[in-house]
Copies of this chain bind each other. A is one copy, B any other.
Amino acid sequence: MNKCWLRCVKCSRQSEFQLEGRCAQCGGTLLVDYDLEKVRSTFTRNSLSQRKLSSLWRYHELLPVRHLDSAVSLGEGGTPLIRLQGLGSTPDKKQIWIKREEQNPTGSFKARGFSVSVSLLAERGITKVAVPSNGNAASALAAYAARAGIEAHVFLPSDCPPLIVEECKLYGAHATLVDGMIHDAGKVIEDRKTEQGWFNVGTLRETGRVEGKKTMGIELAEQLGWRLPDIIVYPTGGGSGIIGMWKAFHELIALGMVEGELPRFISVQEEGCQPLVDAMADAAGASKAIKCEIDHSVSPTGLRVPLPPNLDLVVSILKESRGTAISVSKDEIKSAQLTLGKQGISSSPEGAATLAGWLKLQHTTDVDSAATVVLFNTSHAMKYYPVGVSN
């Protein structure tokens, strides 16, 4: 097994590796630490360049499974990084790239988290899992649980895109629609999990998903020739993608695999459900902003997470990276989706939001004219069918 342990981001207490993602002492988020001296012996630029494995398991030294043979893999990771072409308003030397996470199994970046998470669950003999989700986490869990022979129960807001609900059922999951938001779905699981014997794999509830999402950051660095981009624009709901990539970059820096500064993280949310934007704007910080009211006209996408499980951590990452958070409107998202479509890219509302956010920010932020900017397209348009495109 890779030597690893857990560290609480709040009270810094170290503990043995386990599935449970919250500190027994203080309730803080537990993240995985590795023996980087040991990792360094086999995890090098050169050794990686020789690896045939193109899935995220090529980075197995930095994943907490006991044996690589335990990996529950459906071909996740190794997604394309495509350079966007002249976006009218960016005439300078900036390179705008899009990371096509929609080409993962189950059509979204959520596959990465659940490949690792379900591998850990399977190693420990867990037989029933449950997740609250706006959609894509549910279908990803459904697929990986199916592959591992684990029973999956997914709880979705009742306005979840119906295609995604059917996708969950295709993988054999038990899907339940819940009146309310993702945290209401989470409450149903917490209320019933003991009686039902479910392990709750909700965001930051267990220690594997962040590690899986971390591979977006490692892979991006490798694709850029072990260089970090200047700016990452990321659609932020629960925020574990940001946490994962931030963790990845720190590990790569500590390993001496990359040099320089952390990329600036720009989180994008939809207007009306923007706890992170509010927290960043508020001098009092996250703890106050999280009480924000939800506007019920906000679209049912992965961005609609009124109560992120660890907003403080995401805020601190944005600040550490000299990043920011911005909200965009439904119309700006739709317009960006059509712009990407006309470049041959099918983007989900969440993915399109990154372009919308970047187009709004690029002239107001002090950005080097030769900056490398990476947008994350977390899923594809047709998951939200009908999209409402006519021409």
Contacts and interface: CB of A to CB of B under 8 A. Distances in A.
Interface of A: 49-50, 52, 54-55, 73-75, 78-82, 85, 100, 103-107, 142-147, 162-163, 166-167, 169-172, 174, 337-338, 341-346, 380-383, 385-387, 389-391
Contacts of A74: 80, 82, 100, 344-345
A73 B82 contact: yes
A143 to B, nearest CB: 4
B166 A382 contact: yes
Identical chains bound together, number? 2
B344 A144 contact: yes
Contacts of A54: 54, 78, 80
Contacts of A162: 386
Nearest to A140: B344
A38 to B, nearest CB: 26
Contacts of A169: 389-391
Nearest to A167: B382
A367 to B, nearest CB: 26
A106 B170 contact: no
Given A80-B75, A381-B167, A382-B383, A342 B389 contact: no
Given A100-B105, A104-B103, A143 B78 contact: no
A89 to B, nearest CB: 18
6 contacts: A54-B80, A143-B344, A146-B342, A167-B346, A170-B337, A170-B381
Nearest to A173: B391
A379 to B, nearest CB: 12
A344 to B, nearest CB: 4
Nearest to A143: B344
B100 A75 contact: yes
A343 B381 CA distance: 25
